[in-house]
A and B are shown apart, each in its own frame.
Chain A
């Protein structure tokens, strides 16, 4: 009470550096305000505006990419929020995810009879949080980003009010999310206690200058950070929420969660562990190694025994997270590049896959069992073919982006001499391949439940696929195959996406 409170020095703000965050956040605010005032606007305005805003954010990231190339990484707000090529590529992935999900969401909302911009606004806000996480230079900013990312996501998960599973998903996601936030906060506190700062630049400087002799508090803080972030990226054993939430949440929302939310979570993991705690990599690498092994195997094995396709893809997303963890574990530039490549490729894949499911799931969004996919080939051959490509890509078949992504991860692991981890990852990929084959068998079997030949003639009731959803699936398939055949472009982008911590000044 007695302390003299002086004027707070406003940090230097580089508004251009905040471009992507501002675009997403302001776009969300404008959307909700305009729609409150002008209720008569047609429904398509919502998705179009969302996609436009996301495109603007991506455009801002692209222009900053060039600037970082010319001037090097810089800080946008004091020493709290950094702009480097890593955060920009992650930003672009998040923005593109929003762009791809928005049109699918439109078709979905029309089918479910939902109107209003809320769902789009929440998605934009969540994406803004993800972008903050990608650039956070301070653990507190990181935490803020995480909450901005998560809270809209809880609401999104529970959006399908007509479906009890959706409400359950929202509640579960919220409770476990809050739980993980607590872990994260505790971890931040312990790290602050041992290093005297929450700033990532400061932490790295501190660790490079001082040898922490009694480092129990630091290690405990690291462990808690790993647990908190492990929840977000769905690493086993912190994955328990994933299957229920993915199964219950509206399908396009799941597409968003599996792409943008996961990418943001991994961006935070890389920023904190690979970059800030670089010097303590000997401490956290074994932990991440263990997490990766458990995540890979559990995700793949449990995916195989499911009966619901959304649940299957939920578990498979866990296995994919294991692959990214392998890249993180390498604790090298190559590993980070591989992880970013994987996240970019996987985001597109998973959005395409869930878009197909969003079209198939039918009114009420509940028909996602394996049997509901039966005969998809005879009802919608083109959609079935697209789905097949996406599933094969998830399995890591060559000439798809999924293969190149796995290739990069394995290369990073081998480069870091983690041969056995690479072997475990590939074994998990084979186990997971069984899952994708199971789905494909259903897609190509006849709808009557028999093991018939699946002729196009015996088509069952037609399946209405919204044009926009079809276009999104086509676009994701094109990207998947394009990156698979000519991976150089994305590879070079990921290679250049080097995270950096720049001191204030």
Chain B
């Protein structure tokens, strides 16, 4: 072992991560007991709680030790949970999860503040806060039991958000979402337990669900580990979603309320992608290397398939949903290139996709609020009536396309670089996807914003100051991370290097594909 993945000694006395996870849940409980007679208080309370959480996350990012220290888990907390079963409340962040935690903790206050509940505000905000707690828990958990609990619990609030506040066939979409993801994680539960028990048997230690311990020991026989990895990978593939188990995503997105779509795209799709890194590469280095071609292929297929299907959509929201399939294909491609560039690019893309696709869904939601339709053919010429909306949409869309100077470019470039070094032809296929992304997004933009405006399109209201204020942080992040990604990469890279070193040490004859190695 390289020694870089050791636990930090009980670092901070303040349980930052527990606060991050528990605070929103407590906020939800608070909302639940607030009097019905004061509906005007629900939203401010939810905003206050989630904003406080965001502040904690930002403070943590500033306080996060950089350099070599960024590779180890920080703010580690560990308490017994279900001691007799070997499960513990073990939380920690490293450079890999840090930005996902920050993204989550900032995305929620923006979404909660920016979008009003259409009805029943009390359960609406309460479920959003529960969702925040669950998502943060997934990114912080370093115990397989705790991870599974959080990974699964996020289904419930999202189910209710879609089925109670959604549109169209919301019950169908919500049920499909719930069952698809539950099916994936059902097999993962068996795999989690099998891994813990087999690890205990192989290493002769007591049963533990501790991620770091199991990953460090690598005690389970490789052939068994491959089976277990497949069960994990299936769960994550559904959650990501990877082609061909992505079919719940367009339905969920199309019928979800705007806040649901933003959180789904911005945060929840990262749960699976993050899982592939932390509970795929880190936990099963050998199996990951073994199955990398499979996942690379699925990722590449997803890129092209998502792009082609997105180009054919008549519904703007569905188009953005399919573009997510393509983007997530990129992330998986980078991750399973298994080199520093690829994984860093994938991680960066997770954050980028959260920001830009989250913003896209917000904008699409704003158009829907005004025009009550997502159908592209019914829209047109919006640029004239809503120039500010068009301008913001342009920037966000270009970030999603991967224009240099905006955030999407950096991540996409790194992914392609990593993939090209490792597996040339997959990178070529993925590069086609980049071109296609430009095609479908620009084409959609053209149809929605250009051309003659007629009827309601001509009289559509532009963005108000509140909406501009909501979009401002997204635009700032898009530009900042495009121009100066160094602070992010500085914190990310050491952890990625440590991960590569971990894989290197655990897998025979594994050499990290490095740029320049080949003739």
Residues in chain A within 8 A of chain B (CB atoms): 392, 397-399, 403-404, 406-407, 410-411, 414-415, 419, 422-423, 426-427, 429-430, 433-434, 437-438, 440-441, 444-445, 451, 453-456, 487-488, 491-492, 495
Contact = CB atoms under 8 A, between A and B. Distances in A.
Contact of A495 (B84, B153, B179): B84
5 contacts: A419-B190, A419-B194, A434-B179, A455-B119, A491-B85
Contacts of B150: 398
Interface string B158-199: 011001110000010011001100110011011001100100
Contact of A430 (B81, B171, B186): B186
A492 to B, nearest CB: 6
Nearest to B196: A411
Given A397-B152, A455-B120, A410 B190 contact: yes
Contact of A444 (B156, B163, B186): B163
Nearest to A457: B119
Which of A392, A429, A445, A453 counts the most chain B CB atoms within 10 A?
A453
A487 B155 CA distance: 21
A275 B36 CA distance: 55
B118 interface: yes
Contact of A392 (B81, B156, B175, B194): B156
A441 B197 contact: no
Given A407-B189, A414-B190, A397 B153 contact: yes
A345 to B, nearest CB: 14
Contacts of B187: 423, 426
Nearest to A426: B186
B183 A430 contact: yes
Given A414-B197, A427-B183, A487-B82, 17 more contacts: A397-B156, A398-B153, A406-B189, A407-B189, A410-B190, A411-B193, A414-B193, A414-B194, A423-B190, A427-B186, A429-B182, A430-B179, A433-B178, A433-B182, A437-B179, A453-B165, A492-B84
Which of B36, B150, B183 counts the most chain A CB atoms within 10 A?
B183
Contact of B164 (A434, A454, A488, A495): A454
A406 B185 CA distance: 13
Contacts of B189: 406-407, 410, 426
B217 interface: no
B190 A415 contact: no
Which of B85, B148, B152 counts the most chain A CB atoms within 10 A?
B85
A438 B178 CA distance: 12
B149 interface: yes
A456 B84 contact: no
Contacts of B148: 398
Contact of B83 (A429, A433, A451, A488): A488
A496 to B, nearest CB: 10
Contacts of A434: 175, 179
Main secondary structure of the interface of B (DSSP, over half): helix
Interface string B119-157: 110000000000000000000000000001110110110
Contacts of A422: 190, 193-194
Interface of B: 36, 81-85, 118-120, 148-150, 152-153, 155-156, 159-160, 163-165, 171, 174-175, 178-179, 182-183, 186-187, 189-190, 193-194, 197
A451 B149 contact: no
A399 B153 contact: yes
B83 A415 contact: no
The 6 closest A-B pairs by CB, nearest first: A426-B186, A398-B149, A422-B190, A430-B183, A398-B152, A414-B193
Contacts of B159: 437
Contacts of B164: 444, 453-454
B166 to A, nearest CB: 10
A451 B171 contact: yes
Contacts of A407: 85, 189, 193
A448 B360 CA distance: 36
B206 to A, nearest CB: 14
A410 B197 CA distance: 11
Contacts of B36: 456
Contacts of B156: 392, 397
A451 B164 CA distance: 10
Contacts of A398: 148-150, 152-153
A79 B178 CA distance: 52
Contacts of B81: 488
Contacts of A426: 186-187, 189-190
A14 to B, nearest CB: 31
Contacts of A495: 84
Which of A397, A404, A445, A487 counts the most chain B CB atoms within 10 A?
A397
B109 to A, nearest CB: 24
Contacts of B152: 397-398, 403
Contacts of B149: 398-399, 403
B191 to A, nearest CB: 9
A422 B186 CA distance: 10
A398 B164 CA distance: 21
A488 B82 contact: yes
Contacts of B85: 407, 411, 491
A491 B120 contact: no
A398 B87 CA distance: 14
Given A411-B197, A488-B84, A453 B118 contact: yes
Contacts of A451: 171
